[in-house]
Amino acid sequence: MSEGEVFHEKQRLELCAIHALNNVLQEQVFTKETADDICKRLAPQCVVNPHRSMLGTGNYDINVIMAALQSRELAAVWWDKRRTVQSLCVDKVQGFILNVPSRVSLGIVSLPVKRRHWLAVRQVNGHYYNLDSKLKSPVCIGNEADLRTFLSEVLSPDVAEMLLVVRRDVEEYGTWLNSDLRK
């Protein structure tokens, strides 16, 4: 599959969580409205919802991502960075959602401020792609070995986090981890 055939939503407002979800699912499933509805369900009594930006521009938290995945019969497994990515059973993982620091810019001006940013990585027709919504187009990472190198590099700073997007049964039985490492 060429990069032109890979589904890739581009960054808008502070909607990177929605873009990461749709990019990892390879279709537009979630919108700002559906994410806002999830926020309301998570905190129905709150005037100022703690799961999104007060300005209404997005900036959704992990709870929204997890609830969105659950609505699709999927689960998010928080990756324990004490493990090496070699212990991943990648064929059981549908995709990866990473939370990384990202520079803030206004137009062409980059500000000396960093915020958190959600991005997706997944396999499409045998190749893994970086589907970061801030990229102009998907970037082919390569094969499984290339994916492991990419993930190791992204996770090497202590400030990055990773979620594994898996089916619920994979989460329940822990089969996302190589069998010799499961407890």
pLDDT tens figures, 42-83: 666 776 665 566 666 657 778 888 888 999 999 999 998 888
Q: Which residues are catalytic?
A: 16, 117, 132
Residue 39 lies in a domain: yes
Residue 10 lies in a domain: no
Residue 105 lies in a domain: yes
CATH of the domain at 105: 3.90.70.40
Residue 3 lies in a domain: no
Structural domain count, the chain: 1
Average pLDDT over residues 128-145: 94
Residue 4 lies in a domain: no
Q: What is the DSSP string of the chain?
A: --GGGS--PPP-TB-HHHHHHHHHHTS----HHHHHHHHHHHSTT-SS-TTS-TTSSB---HHHHHHHHHTTTEEEEE--TTS-GGGB-GGG--EEEEEEEEEEEETTEEEEEEEEEEEEEEEETTEEEE--TTSSS-EEEESHHHHHHHHHHHHSSTT-EEEEEEEHHHHHHTTTB-GGG--
Residues 35-50: pLDDT tens digits? Answer: 777 767 866 677 666 5
pLDDT at 33: 79
pLDDT at 38: 76
Residue 9 lies in a domain: no
Residue 8 lies in a domain: no
Range of the domain at 160: 15-181
Residue 6 lies in a domain: no
